[in-house]
Amino acid sequence: MRILIFISIFIASCSGGGSSSSNQINLINDNNINTAYVYTPPSGKSNDNCVAQTSTSDFVENFTNEQLDLSTWSYDEGCNNNGGGCNGNNEYQNYTNNDKDNLFIEDGLLKIQPIYEVNTGSDNVTQNYTSAKIMTKDKFAFDFNSRVTVCFRVPEGTGLWPAIWMLPFDGTPWPSGGEIDLMEAKGRAYPVEGSPDQSNLVSSAVHFGTQWPDNKYIVGEFYSTNENTFQNYFHSITLIFQENKIDFYIDSELTPHLSIDPTIYPLNQYNYPFNRQFYLIINVAVGGNFDGGRAESDEICNDALCSNFSDNPDKKRLLIDWIEYEKIN
């Protein structure tokens, strides 16, 4: 089933927390852009629309064990309110390390399940939802000049905000160290004024700049067909992460829905931050700024069994089938 691409690029300042950094302008010549590597999607499919897995990867996570591999992954916990509300985005959840309710491995899939329940988190903040956030921080680094592919399915439910993203492994403060968002989605499956149904839409982005309000981002959106949505079928996101060049691909598409290099405005007004190692983060937030603070508790699991959606609880969970990382040059 063919996917339709509609490329929409936004350049804006975004609110929220961040740390100060140098305002030095560093314009980079076009000749420094890496154009040697040409991405060719693997032939075949692995799960619904996901590209086939390869035999050449340097790291593979297939989630075949019953427990999360804590030699690779760590839990982030609590609200993390350092300004701008929880996680800098006015989110409504506490993250937990509950490996039975909020995050678990089942049938070879990593599942992150937000729950509508009052919880006082590890930093003593009380929220109305719990969820999970895992990361490879301090454990596994993703180098540039590499390919990263994730096979995923996003949850349905107004207020759910699944994300697969990266931050600098060396701890350089946000946003001067850069942020790479492989995939973000909104769980809302109906239109509201000024915003369409989100079930067939995901986005990728990069963040950069200096301390708020001079932090910037560039985002590219990808629309599926209405019959092959991201909420109902697995899709893959591939990051081609090269020196001075970043491309994002959905499934087996040959054209990236977002392509980044140091000459793009306004990135060309700042130090290019992405030529460094990053760590991977996977989470599902609830509410927050991403969809205008919307969250409908009756569209989200109300207990560990998701018994209010017992016919198909997985539709309320972020599902990750596999992750591949391969050095490409």
What confidence tens digit (pLDDT) does each residue in 178-215 have?
999 999 999 999 999 888 999 999 999 999 999 888 99
Task: Please list the pLDDT of the chain residue by residue as tens digits (329 residues).
Answer: 344 444 444 444 333 333 322 222 333 334 456 667 889 999 999 999 999 999 999 999 999 999 999 999 999 999 998 778 899 899 999 999 999 999 999 999 999 999 999 999 989 999 999 999 999 999 999 999 999 999 999 999 999 999 999 999 999 999 999 999 999 999 999 999 888 999 999 999 999 999 888 999 999 999 998 899 999 999 999 999 999 999 999 999 999 999 999 999 999 999 999 999 999 999 999 999 999 999 999 999 999 999 999 999 999 999 999 999 999 97
Contacts of 5 (CB under 8 A, 6+ apart): 222, 223, 250, 253, 255, 257
Could you report the per-residue pLDDT of 212-253, keeping only the tens digit for each?
Answer: 889 999 999 999 988 999 999 999 999 999 999 999 999 999
> Using CA atoms, how far apart are residues 173 and 82, in angstroms rounded to an integer?
13
Rg of the Cα atoms in the chain: 19
DSSP conformational letter for 229: -
The pLDDT of residue 77 is 96
Structural tokens at position 234: 């697995």
> What are the tokens at 82?
């350092």
State yes or no: cis peptide before 173, omega within 30 of 0. no
Question: Could you state, in order of their start, the residue ranges of all structural domains in the chain?
Answer: 9-65+140-327
CATH of 9-65+140-327, one of 3.30.565.10, 1.10.10.10, 3.20.20.30, 2.60.120.200: 2.60.120.200
65-71 long-range contacts, CB within 8 A, separation 24+? 65/105, 66/105, 67/99, 67/105, 68/99, 68/103, 68/105, 68/110, 68/134, 71/139
Q: Which residues, other chains included, contact 150 with Cβ-Cβ below 8 Å and sequence gap of 6+? A: 164, 182, 183, 236, 237, 320, 322, 323, 324
Which residues neighbour 200 within 8 Å (Cβ) at sequence distance 6 or greater? Answer: 223, 224, 225, 226, 228, 229, 230, 231
Strand partners, 75: 134
> Helix, strand, or coil here: 297?
helix
What integer pLDDT is reported at residue 6 of this predicted model? 46
Cis link prior to 196 (omega < 30° from 0)?
no
Residue 192 · residue 328 · CB < 8 Å: no
Q: How far apart are CA 202 and CA 186, in angstroms?
A: 8
Q: Is 49 in contact with 251 (CB distance < 8 Å)? A: yes
What's the rounded Cα separation, in Å, for the pair 147 and 144? Answer: 8
Question: Taking the model in full, what pTM does it have?
Answer: 0.91
Identify the burial level of 201 via C-beta atoms within 10 angstroms of its C-beta, where 0-12 means exposed, 13-18 middle and 19 or more buried.
buried
Judge contact between 121 and 92, C-beta under 8 A: no
Reduced to 3 states (helix: H, G, I; strand: E, B; else coil), residue 30 is helix
In sign, the C-alpha dihedral spanning 312, 86, 134, 48 is positive
Residue 33, burial from CB neighbour count under 10 angstroms (0-12, 13-18, 19+): middle
What is the distance between the alpha carbons of residues 94 and 117, in angstroms, rounded to a whole number? 10
Q: How far apart are CA 246 and CA 263, in angstroms?
A: 12
- Alpha carbon distance 157, 287 (integer Å): 10
Q: Which two tokens stand for residue 225?
A: 């067909």
pLDDT of residue 7: 44
Task: State pLDDT tens for residues 163-179.
Answer: 999 999 999 999 999 99
State the residue for tokens 């903040």.
125
